[in-house]
Structure 1
Amino acid sequence: MIKFYLIVALLFLVPKLGFSQDLMDYTTVKTNSGEVTIPGNWTQLNTLRKSGQTYLENDEGIIIAVAENQKKTYPFYKANQSDIENLKAFYKWDSDFRKKSNFQTQKIKESADSEFIIWKYKDKLDNVFLIGSSENNFLSLLIYTNHWTQSEKIQFLENLYQLNK
Structure 2
Amino acid sequence: MNRIKLMLMMLLCLPNFIFCQDIIDYSKVKTNSGEVKIPGNWEQLNKADDSGQTYLKNKDGVIIAIAQNPKKAYPFFKSNESDFENVKLFYTWDSDYYKENKFKTEKIKENTELEYIIWKYNDKKLDNVFLFGSTKNNFLNLLVYTNNWSEVEKIIFLENLYKLNK
Q: Same fold (TM over 0.5)?
A: yes
Give the drift of 1:21.
2.6
Which stretches in structure 2 are left out of the alignment for 5+ residues? 1-11
> Distance in 2 between the 1:45 and 1:83 partners?
31
Give the drift of 1:112.
0.5
> Distance in 1 between the 2:50 and 2:127 partners?
23
Asked whether 1:25 is paired with 2:36, we answer no
Match of 2:70 in 1: 70
Give the drift of 1:18.
7.1
Structure 1 runs (4+) greater than 3 angstroms displaced: 15-19
Asked whether 1:150 is paired with 2:151, we answer yes
**Root-mean-square deviation over aligned CA pairs:** 1.7
> Distance in 2 between the 1:84 and 1:135 partners?
11
Match of 2:132 in 1: 131
Deviations 1:82-113 (A, max 9, x none): 11111111001000111122101000001110
SS in 1 for 2:68: strand
Asked whether 1:86 is paired with 2:91, we answer no
SS in 2 for 1:153: helix
Percentage of matched positions with identical amino acids: 64
> Distance in 1 between the 2:36 and 2:56 partners?
12
Match of 1:112 in 2: 112
Read off the aligned partner of 2:108 and give its amino acid letter.
I
Read off the aligned partner of 1:82 and give its amino acid letter.
S
> Distance in 2 between the 1:42 and 1:101 partners?
31
Number of equivalences: 154
SS in 2 for 1:155: helix
> Distance in 1 between the 2:133 and 2:140 partners?
5
Which stretches in structure 1 are left out of the alignment for 5+ residues? 1-11
